[in-house]
Each structure stands twice: as C-alpha cells, then as structure tokens.
Amino acid sequence: MSGTRKTSSAGPQPDPPLRESAPSGGEAVGPLAPPVRCPGQGQDRSPVRPTSQSHDRRTGRTRPDAAATESSTHQSPGAAGDRQVRSQVRGMAAFLRRLQAMDVANRGMLFAAVLLFCVVPFVIVLQSLAGRSAVTKMTERFGLTQDAAKTAGHVFTSPSSTSSTFTGLSWVFLILGGIAAAAVLQELYERAFDAEGRGIKDKPRQILWLGAAVAAAALSGWAQPWLRDVGGPALAGVASLAGSTAFWWFSMWLLLAGRLTWRQLFPSALATGICWLGMEIVFRLTMSNMITSNYQKYGPIGLAFALMAFLLAIGLVIIVGAIVGVAWRERHAPTAQ
C-alpha cells in the first residue's frame, strides 16, 4: 500500500550513537565513552611508574632488572663517605661521654697514689728479696743513663739492708697493700664496663690477680733484656705489645668475674696494650732526663715526682684503654648484629 512505511525484516534499527559537542560550538569530536570506575576512585592516584623488571620467556617468571638491583645495592661514594663520617663522629662523641663519666683525671690521680703507696713498696721489697736493687730494675726498664742511675742510687738503699729489716707484720701490710691496688683496679674496670661489684666475694680474685701480676713482672724482667739483646728494640717492642695485651686481657676477665666474654674484652685489652707500649717508649726516652732534672731542683723528692708521673701514666693508660675498647664495641655492635 502506498503511503505505508515498510519495516526492515532485520528488526528495529538501533539508535545512532551520540556525539560529543565541541566545547566551542564546533563539530563533534567523537563518540561519548561510557564512564569507567576504577578501584579506589575518588582517591589520589599517581601515575603508574614502570617497574625495573624483565620477563623470562622460558620460565614465565618476572625478574628484577639487573641494572636496578646493582644501583640499589651500590651507593655513590659520596653517600658512603658521609655515612662513614657520621659514624666516626658518633663514635667519638660516645668515647668523650664515657671519658667524662669516668672522671679520668681524678681517678687516674687516685690510682697513681694507690700504686705509689702500695705497689711501689711491694715491688721494691720483692726485688730486694731476690737480691736485686731497685736501681738495677729501673735501669733495665727505663734505659737510664749513668747519671740518672747514680742519682737513683742516692735514694734507694741496698737489697741486703732492705730485706734484713723486714718482719712478719711488714709482710702483712705489704700484701694488704697489694690487694688494695687490685681492688682499685677492679673498681675501675667495673665502672668502665658498667658492671656491679660483688663485695667480699671478689677478694679471692683480687689475691689471684696479685699473684698473676707478680709472675708477669718476673717474666717480663727476665725476658725483656734477652729479647733486646737478640732482636733489638723492635723484637722487644713486639713482645711487650703481645705480653701486655695478654696480661690486661686476663686481668679484665678475672676481675670482672667472667661477666663479659673474652671476645667482648679483647678490644679493650688490645687498646690497653697499644697504649702501654706507647707509654714505655715515651718514658724510656724521657725518664733519665726527668730524674736528673728533678733531683737537681727538688733533691731526693724529685725522684718521687718522676715515679709519680710514670704511675699517673699507668692509670691513664688503663682507664683510656678500657674506654676505647668499650666505645669501639658499642659502635660496631649494630654491624655485627
């Protein structure tokens, strides 16, 4: 029938797609895409960064890029240097704080006074009982010149006169003085290593340390001249470093009653041994002049001043060596863990 619209056998036609209108009234730019909601829409989404990974076709796995791994493990020399400098500054600050907490000057003076009144008489008497004078011992230890040895001979008496006037009561006071020196040394180590004292329970260890110190002094007095004759000052210095390190290592472990392991005590023992060797070198170079000049200025008491300087150096070496080892161990503890 004319005038009647025919319909397609395929069914109703879909509506034509809508087109966006140009923002300024121009032509349409394309179809209007349906909105797509992404997970977490409404949040701040930063653009996805390409990952430094590569795909292994044989295994089907994703592996990190070698260049990225190398760049993450190897930092620039400048950053590593800055980190090392900061670590050294922190270590020095910890060392200075421990020095301040130990009150090094006062404790060193007190320890030197204990050595002068307790240990020096003990050593002099033992040398006299062995038939050797204190002047001979000082000459061998400090390399005294003839003038310095002659000056020291004016102060110390002969071994026979010293041993003949010694009584049983004198021995009691002498041994008590040695134990007092061991107790002061133990208190220094307990303060340096933050350990608590045990009172009377530590007396056997103090007596044992006193015996070990006498044995070490006798061994050193016998070995040092022989080593110096065989290998010269170099061999004697190496032996002194090894011997002093071993002795102070054992002293720390004994007086601290094993509360710290041998490995924990080794840095302090090594630092003490190095400082001890440096102290011996300095006093071998300066002790003769110190004795003669002090004797000329102050008389016989000048020798006591020279000995007091040496004993004060011993106290400082013991304290500083222990603190250096503790600071080194604290600095390297995180790295070791």
**pLDDT tens profile 197-240:** 887 888 999 999 999 999 998 888 888 888 888 888 889 899 99
Give the Cα separation of 134 and 173 in Å (integer).
Answer: 20
pLDDT 10s digits, 125-167: 777 776 677 788 888 888 888 888 888 887 776 665 555 566 6
pLDDT attached to residue 34: 52
Q: Residue 283 in contact with residue 313, Cβ under 8 Å?
A: yes
pLDDT attached to residue 228: 86
Beta bridge partners of residue 63, listed in sequence order: 54
pLDDT attached to residue 13: 54
Q: Residue 293 in contact with residue 309, Cβ under 8 Å?
A: no
* Residue 229 C-alpha from the chain's centroid: 34
pLDDT attached to residue 27: 46
Q: How confident is the model at residue 30 (pLDDT cuts 50, 70, 90)?
A: very low
- Residue 62's SS3 state is strand
Region for residue 8 given its phi and psi (left: phi exceeds 0; alpha: psi -120 to 50; beta: otherwise)? beta
Average pLDDT, the chain: 77
Q: How confident is the model at residue 20 (pLDDT cuts 50, 70, 90)?
A: very low
Q: How far apart are the first and last CA of the chain?
A: 99
Long-range contacts of 68-76 (CB under 8 A, 24+ apart): none
| Burial environment of residue 179 by CB neighbours within 10 A (0 to 12, 13 to 18, 19 or more) | middle
* Residue 299 half-sphere exposure toward CB, CA atoms < 13 A: 1
Give the Cα separation of 269 and 273 in Å (integer).
Answer: 6
Higher pLDDT, 61 or 185: 185
Predicted TM-score of the model (pTM): 0.69
Q: How confident is the model at residue 6 (pLDDT cuts 50, 70, 90)?
A: very low
Higher pLDDT, 83 or 295: 295
φ, ψ dihedrals at 311, nearest 5° = -65, -35
CA distances from 323 to 43, 176, 317, 320, 328 (A): 56, 28, 10, 5, 9
- Amino acid letter at 255? L
CB atoms within 10 A of CB 82: 11
Region for residue 4 given its phi and psi (left: phi exceeds 0; alpha: psi -120 to 50; beta: otherwise)? beta
Give the Cα separation of 31 and 332 in Å (integer).
Answer: 68
Dihedral sign for Cα atoms in the order 219, 221, 224, 230: negative
